Amino acid sequence: MKLFIFSARQPDYAVIKQWSLENKIEVGITEKDLTPDTAPLAKGASAVSTQQVSIREEEIYRTLSEYGVAAIGVRSTGVDSLNKQYMKQYGILGANIKAYSPRSIAEFALTTSMMLIRNIPRLLKHEQDLNFSWNRMLGREVASLTVGVIGTGNIGFVTAQLFKALGANVIAYDKFRRTDADAFLSYRATVEDVAREADILSLHVPYSDDTRHMIDDRILKIMKPSAILVNAARGPVVDTAALISALRSGEIAGAALDSLEGEEMYANKTKEQQGEANRYIGDLLAMDNVVLSPHIAFFTLEAATAMVQTSLRDLRDIAATGKSTGLISLE
Ligand SMILES: NC(=O)c1ccc[n+]([C@@H]2O[C@H](COP(=O)([O-])OP(=O)(O)OC[C@H]3O[C@@H](n4cnc5c(N)ncnc54)[C@H](O)[C@@H]3O)[C@@H](O)[C@H]2O)c1
Q: What separation in angstroms does the CA of 271 have from each of 276, 291, 310? A: 10, 19, 32
Q: Which of 47, 108, 102 is nearest to 73 (CA)?
A: 47
Helix (H/G/I), strand (E/B), else coil: 244: helix
- Nearest protein Cα to ligand 1, atom 28: 205
Residue with the bigger pLDDT between 100 and 266: it is: 266
User: Mean pLDDT score of the chain, rounded to an integer?
Assistant: 96
Ligand 1 pocket mutation, candidates 105, 212, 291, criterion most atoms within 8 A of CB? 105
In the reported structure, the alpha carbon of residue 154 is separated from the centroid of ligand 1 by a whole-number distance in angstroms of 7
Cα separation of 8 and 147, whole Å? 35
Q: Crossing angle of helices 154-165/102-117, nearest 10°? A: 50
Tell me what pLDDT residue 197 has: 98
Q: Which residues line ligand 1 (CB under 6 A)?
A: 76-78, 99, 102, 105, 151-156, 174-176, 204-207, 210-211, 232-234, 258-259, 295, 297-298
pLDDT band for position 331 (50/70/90)? confident
Angle at 226 between CA 261 and CA 221, to 5 degrees: 60
The mean pLDDT of 125-141, rounded to a whole number, is: 97
pLDDT reading at 71 higher than 80:
yes
Confidence of residue 79 (pLDDT cuts 50, 70, 90): confident
Buried b / exposed e across 147-183, counting CB within 10 Å, b at 16+?
Answer: bbbbbbbbbbbbbbbbbbeeebbbbbbbeeebeebee
State the average pLDDT over residues 202-221.
Answer: 97
pLDDT digit string (tens) for 242-287? 999 999 999 999 999 999 999 999 998 999 999 999 999 999 999 9
3: pLDDT strictly greater than 90: yes
For residues 128 and 100, is the Cβ–Cβ distance under 8 A? no
Strands 2-5 and 47-50: parallel
The pick from 174, 213, 215 for probing ligand 1's pocket by mutation, whose C-beta has the most ligand atoms within 8 angstroms, reads 174
| Each residue's pLDDT tens digit, 6-51 | 999 988 999 999 999 999 999 999 999 999 999 999 999 999 999 8
- If residue 39 lies in a helix (H) or strand (E), which one and from where to where? none
Ligand 1: atom nearest CA of 211 is: 31
Nearest-CA residue for ligand 1 atom 18 is 153
Atom of ligand 1 minimally distant from the CA of 98: 15
pLDDT tens profile 287-327: 999 999 999 999 999 999 999 999 999 999 999 999 999 99
